[in-house]
Structure 1
């Protein structure tokens, strides 16, 4: 499935539930930004008569930046440089302490969904977490929902369907207990726009959720894109730092580096709004 209509996750979920097809593939960049893929296949299959079969295991096709760029971004804004040797475990612990975390790692996602490499993550067990992130981090309407990122093997435990949903493009009915267990990611109608996470596809992201599961016995975290309303998703390390400083995100996980707001004097950074726009430009700090 492709085209902008294929971003309708409610409709996609209904198609899966009806069981009309043995296999369904939804192109994660199914809007205009995915047109080059279709054009390339048209040329090979139709014009050149050279059959090509499309196989996509993940959507992490965007840019990846070297470690030195991460260090340079931290230095530019006078942030402490702490490299963790157990980043997944430390991140999971911060989540359980009700910290909202900016997660930046690896290649950027191709398409409109943040799938663990340019994400804001939080603990879905807190009912007010949805309001906290909408109001104090994303600066957007209170009704806007968030997605559950769940270890793929546990999807059937929390939702009525376990058909793989790696691109967060399927809405499933949550099981009755889930509304109380993970209220921040179950919508008013009792559904969730699910992202199933597999270790083979994104081991770093999987490890964070797995460590969270070990602590809480909940294999789900809350996921939303690493940006604020009306701004694009962060791309490079400096984008991530500026969004961190310009919002009420509690901690920034920048590859293996961790920065916590509690470890810095935010009064030195002036007005938060100064960091929310014109990302990537030189800062006065």
Structure 2
């Protein structure tokens, strides 16, 4: 019994030493990896980005088709066969088929939506990578990608309105420019800028080009648009449905923006699911 405590203590010291050695070895390996000389073919990376973007467009198109898939039968058939009419017939078997179809339709839609967000995340990650490799040497670009890959900065702001006779239009544009300046560098990595800017991204106001200028810095300036207006046109979320509320992501994937009913507020909400790439 006398030897048990020293033996346990010795084992603990050996285990601790092993953990420390593994930690040092891992840190050395990371340091050596970061010191390696990287050569990146930007043109090939750009091609990959384009191909994945095409795949994402196909997924979005597939989701739109799925949204339009019929789950009920025509009005004439409903009048003829009453409430139990379905595209599969009004027999017990037809009703069972409708129930199974509805369940499968919902599951397929949610799966495709989530997968679309994942692919969009890869597109945005590649876009950020291409920008970094084109603006700095490959080794530093690799360091920024490794250090910022799983991080996300989120900025939200409520900016000045135009005021009477647009007297605050200059102030508004300056505020947007200042907000963009906080995160414009690609080395800042994954960012979402959002808020009520009281300004549209189009039009003749000084604020419009300031919002558009987020684009050259890697931000998706169309991610927040909700296409539920007449004929599928974009429609904003303000009290008068102007597009003055914005969500501008960079480096992350987003699903198509959806309207969140305003309830007691004077603005509707904008809902986007965000996906941070796992690489």
TM-score (norm 1): 0.27
Higher relative contact order (CA 8 A, sep 6+): 1
Larger Rg: 2
Compute the TM-score of the two structures, normalised by the length of structure 2: 0.28
Which is helix-richer, 1 or 2? 2
